[in-house]
Structure 1
Amino acid sequence: MNGSDDDAVRLRSVSRRYGAGDGAVPALDDVSLAFPRGTFTAVMGPSGSGKSTLLQCAAGLDRPTSGSVVVGGTELTGLSERRLTLLRRERVGFVFQAFNLLPSLTAAQNVALPLRLSGRRPARGRVREALRQVGLADRARHRPTELSGGQQQRVALARALITRPEVLFADEPTGALDSRTGREVLALLRDMVDDTGQTVVMVTHDPVAASCADRVVFLVDGHVHGDLATPTATTIATHLTDLETPRP
């Protein structure tokens, strides 16, 4: 797939293998994808299809065995570990199924943490705005144990957004939530794309969650097996069933 200057993330011929020699296991095999700025993309596929590996390579959390990954015009594959860490810290946001909040810190302190780790003193107004963006302006002084699961995930979203990242990666962000709370978190992600032009790339196994995206990309055995634009839960479920049905 050809990329353009409008792409927030671009992968070209990316492969990722674990192990060496004849025992090497391919998690991704010659994957080329582009994620345009200001769009919401869901990545789906059967278990073991390479979804999380794709996310980790695209976000700079893992290095591909071969191929090219570009985030916001910066080629990742040749960066030193230090420069890669700085890029992840300043230009990429992460949200995962596990909220990964520090229990001893308040919501505001958890949100401010990425800025403190980069040596910057977070402005109180900026932290407050990030919490307001996820509907938790009145929970700034609460610790994680004083928040519901959905509220903790919202804090994790605010923490991911505090650096104003070029792209937000989400790995099963609603997997630990009940359906109603999950819908609220998905609505927040959708609003971020529509209202602020945020780029979101989300791995999910849930067709309903994926239907919130602009596009769904399907992986099977480390290969891209098509995509759907303006997807619905029904069309996604049908496509997944076709992918998982053994061929004669």
Structure 2
Amino acid sequence: MEAILELDRVSRTYGRGPGAVHALRDLDARLYARSLTAVMGPSGSGKSTFLQCAAGLDKPTSGSVRLAGQEISAMGERQLTRLRRARIGFVFQSFNLLPTLSAEENVLLPLRLDGKRRDPARARRMLARVGLDGRADAKPGELSGGQQQRVAIARALITEPDVVFADEPTGSLDTRTAAEVLALLREAVNSYGATVVVVTHDPAVVEHADRVLRLAEGRLVTDTVGAPV
């Protein structure tokens, strides 16, 4: 299988001396194209730091991160910003939609920020694919939490990114809506060929995952096959 994201001996330490926090410790991981990987572990295990380093939001103290064979851990902030806009999608627990923009405008925002042509018809098709046909003109305040997360998924996929990172995407949703959102992320893999990485506490994610990485104290302790639906 093709490794789309590679972390080699990645460590991230915050602070110095006796009070230093070792968030990641010599972590090795391979994330494969066209798959859904769940990254799990207790609070303080390093999940969030894993996401930040893997997505180019933070730099490792040591080690390397490669996206589609390109070293990103040594890039400058301007390069990383361009890379994130063009090649990485994000889905957050708090949705991170702009309240003054419609659903369609929120979906098109990554293309606008990257200076690319915006295609409203394409955005509406993407919204229809995530179950929001006819809601393109709605503002986030007019949508339920589950609907807002659907907009966020459509926004993450609009640039056809190499990897979509979902950070606790079901954390603020009820059980039924969370299951629908996880099914959509699975569909992103099956229908779009996306590579999805879900960082979560939610054990229900395992049912949709191809692989499950479990972290503890900044180390990768297990790497197991999941049970995709």
Shorter-chain TM-score category? Answer: over 0.9
Determine the structure 2 residue equivalent to 1:243.
Answer: none
Determine the structure 2 residue equivalent to 1:132.
Answer: 128
- Aligned ranges for residues 136-147 of structure 1 at < 5 Å? 136-147=132-143
**What RMSD in Å do the two structures reach over aligned CA positions?**
1.3
Whole-angstrom CA distance in 2 between matches of 1:88 and 1:144: 23
Matched residue of 2:224: which SS?
strand
Whole-angstrom CA distance in 2 between matches of 1:119 and 1:195: 27
**Residues 1:156 and 2:143 aligned together:** no
Matched residue of 1:137: which SS?
coil
Determine the structure 1 residue equivalent to 2:106.
Answer: 110
Measured after TM superposition, the shift of residue 204 of structure 1 is 1.1
Among residues 209, 212, 225, which one is paired with 1:213 in the alignment? Answer: 209
Determine the structure 2 residue equivalent to 1:13.
Answer: 9
The one-letter code sitting in structure 2 at the alignment partner of 1:65 is T
Give identity over the alignment, percent.
Answer: 59
Measured after TM superposition, the shift of residue 210 of structure 1 is 2.4
Superposition TM-score, scaled by structure 1 size: 0.89
The one-letter code sitting in structure 2 at the alignment partner of 1:178 is D
**Residues 1:53 and 2:84 aligned together:** no
Contact 2:38 2:206 in 1 (8 A): yes
- Give the unaligned 5+ runs of structure 1: 233-248
Residues 111-166 of structure 1, C-alpha deviations (whole Å, 9 max, x = no match): 11111111123012221222122111210000011101000000011111111101
Among residues 158, 172, 178, which one is paired with 1:176 in the alignment? Answer: 172
Among residues 193, 196, 201, which one is paired with 2:192 in the alignment? Answer: 196
Whole-angstrom CA distance in 2 between matches of 1:28 and 1:13: 9
Contact 1:216 1:231 in 2 (8 A): no
Whole-angstrom CA distance in 2 between matches of 1:16 and 1:230: 27
The one-letter code sitting in structure 2 at the alignment partner of 1:104 is T
Whole-angstrom CA distance in 2 between matches of 1:108 and 1:117: 15
Whole-angstrom CA distance in 2 between matches of 1:189 and 1:50: 23
Whole-angstrom CA distance in 2 between matches of 1:13 and 1:191: 32
Whole-angstrom CA distance in 2 between matches of 1:231 and 1:197: 18
Whole-angstrom CA distance in 2 between matches of 1:163 and 1:26: 34
Q: Which entry has the higher C-alpha Rg, 1 or 2? A: 1
Matched residue of 2:5: which SS?
strand
How many equivalent pairs are there? 228
Residues 85-123 of structure 1, C-alpha deviations (whole Å, 9 max, x = no match): 000000000111011111111000111111111112301
Superposition TM-score, scaled by structure 2 size: 0.96
Measured after TM superposition, the shift of residue 55 of structure 1 is 0.8
Measured after TM superposition, the shift of residue 231 of structure 1 is 4.3
**Residues 1:76 and 2:72 aligned together:** yes
Contact 1:204 1:210 in 2 (8 A): no
Contact 1:167 1:200 in 2 (8 A): yes
Whole-angstrom CA distance in 2 between matches of 1:196 and 1:155: 16
Matched residue of 1:32: which SS?
strand
